[in-house]
Amino acid sequence: MKVTKSIRIGSRESSLAMYQARTVQKKFKDQGFHSEIIQITSDGDVDLVTPLYEMGIQGIFTKSLDSALLQDKIDVAVHSSKDIPTRLAQGLSLSALLERGTPFDCLVLPKGKTIELDKECVIGTSSMRRKSQWLHRYPHHRTENLRGNIQTRLSKLDHSGWNGALFAQAALERLAVSTHQFITLDWMLPSPSQGAIGVVCREDDAFARTICSSINHTWTELCISAERDFLAALHGGCSVPIAALATIDHNRISFRGNVFSLDAKDKCEVELTLNLDQAKDVGKIAAQKILELGANKIIKTFRPNFED
């Protein structure tokens, strides 16, 4: 393909967002495409006080970039794929997913500190999903709201007197954070799509969609699509404690998902494994199964109008 223009890559301004944008830029370069990065401020980066679950807005971290795409100010937008709503703005398409990093969350300790989990602890997080799973496992703990970019949250942790904070491990790994000890929480199911970098473009931009397809990682796409289908079927978003993880091994796709009550006391779980040729349906099948197991009753406690 003969390239006649520079690809405009839209990104949030944080260190993590810029790392992700540069990663996509390098992928484009490896395919022979020239690009430039354009920084755009998101609403989610401006309000660092209100907990995400209180905002109740789909795409709080993506809508500014969506607007720039639709106004033809950028050609592609790069996001943490977990931030991309299951229903994109009309005219936009999730066109590439890079190979997934670590999908799990981790417990980060204040610099130079240790933790005794059997004692009363205070844990920082702004995620209802993390909060619910943590308090279900450690009901004698309590949580405090923690917002901001990675560096801001690490600094607040060090000066808060808290015992730890919950982060996406992939974010710390991408920024090569070595100042703090962290513990992988492989028992905590992550947010659907966590650990992957997603690229969104306009549906009518054939050029952008073609170059995005050249950097897409097929197996990551299968897993992320399953998790997004699960979340969409349950009408979930950042304001509800819904988790999912799909993995592929030896031509089989395994899926785990759960739904927690807001008070962390009740949960409903689903787990299944299917042949890879059924991968496109696994998220929807898991959603139907978890609803049959009683997740609809939990969801209706915080979404009274939910219809399964």
DSSP bridge partners of 246: 255
Q: What is the CATH number of the domain that holds 79?
A: 3.40.190.10
Residues of the chain with pLDDT under 70: 1-4, 42-60, 237-239, 308
Asked if residue 114 and residue 85 are part of one domain, the reply reads no
Reference 191, options 276, 78, 103; nearest CA is 103
pLDDT digits (tens, 9 = 90+) for 161-196: 999 999 999 999 999 999 999 999 999 999 999 999
- CA torsion 137-54-258-288 (nearest 10°) is 160
* pLDDT of res. 147: 87
Query: Would you say residue 58 lies in a domain?
Result: yes
Asked if residue 122 and residue 177 are part of one domain, the reply reads yes
Buried-state track 295-304, b at ≥16 Cβ within 10 A, e below 16? bbebbeeeee
CA 144 to chain centre: 20
Asked if residue 159 and residue 12 are part of one domain, the reply reads no
Query: Would you say residue 308 lies in a domain?
Result: no
Owning domain of residue 294: 231-301
Asked if residue 179 and residue 51 are part of one domain, the reply reads no
* pLDDT of res. 269: 98
Query: Would you say residue 253 lies in a domain?
Result: yes
Please count the structural domains in the chain: 3
pLDDT digits (tens, 9 = 90+) for 267-276: 999 999 999 9
* pLDDT of res. 47: 42
Asked if residue 201 and residue 95 are part of one domain, the reply reads yes
3-state helix/strand/coil string of the chain: CCCCCCEEEEECCCHHHHHHHHHHHHHHHHCCCCEEEEECCCHHHHCCCCCHHHHCCCCCCCHHHHHHHHCCCCCEEEEEHHHCCCCCCCCEEEEEECCCCCCCEEEECCCCCCCCCCCCCEEECCCHHHHHHHHHHCCCCEEECCCCCHHHHHHHHHHHCCCEEEEEHHHHHHCCCCCCCEEEECCCCCCCCCCCEEEEEECCCHHHHHHHHCCCCHHHHHHHHHHHHHHHHCCCCCCCCEEEEEEEECCEEEEEEEEECCCCCCEEEEEEEEEHHHHHHHHHHHHHHHHHHHHHHHHHHHCCCCCC
Query: Would you say residue 168 lies in a domain?
Result: yes
**Beta strand 164-168 with 122-124: parallel, antiparallel or unpaired?**
parallel
* Tokens read off for 64: 């500014």
204 is catalytic: no
Query: Would you say residue 276 lies in a domain?
Result: yes
Asked if residue 259 and residue 125 are part of one domain, the reply reads no
* pLDDT of res. 302: 81
Asked if residue 80 and residue 209 are part of one domain, the reply reads yes
Reference 193, options 276, 100, 304, 265; nearest CA is 100
Asked if residue 235 and residue 163 are part of one domain, the reply reads no
Query: Would you say residue 225 lies in a domain?
Result: no
Angle between helix axes 150-160 and 15-30 (nearest 10 degrees) is 150
Asked if residue 155 and residue 72 are part of one domain, the reply reads no
Query: Would you say residue 190 lies in a domain?
Result: no
Q: How far is Cα 274 from Cα 40, in angstroms, rounded to an integer?
A: 41
**Beta strand 76-80 with 197-202: parallel, antiparallel or unpaired?**
antiparallel
Asked if residue 74 and residue 207 are part of one domain, the reply reads yes
Asked if residue 78 and residue 205 are part of one domain, the reply reads yes
* pLDDT of res. 296: 92
* pLDDT of res. 48: 42
Cβ(93)–Cβ(206) under 8 Å? no
Set 45, 66, 83, 229: catalytic member: 83
Asked if residue 257 and residue 173 are part of one domain, the reply reads no
pTM for this prediction: 0.90
CA 17 to chain centre: 13
* pLDDT of res. 306: 75
| Contacts with 277 (C-beta within 8 Å, 6 or more apart), sequence order | none
Query: Would you say residue 226 lies in a domain?
Result: no
Q: How far is Cα 14 from Cα 18, in angstroms, rounded to an integer?
A: 6
Q: What is the CATH number of the domain that holds 294?
A: 3.30.160.40
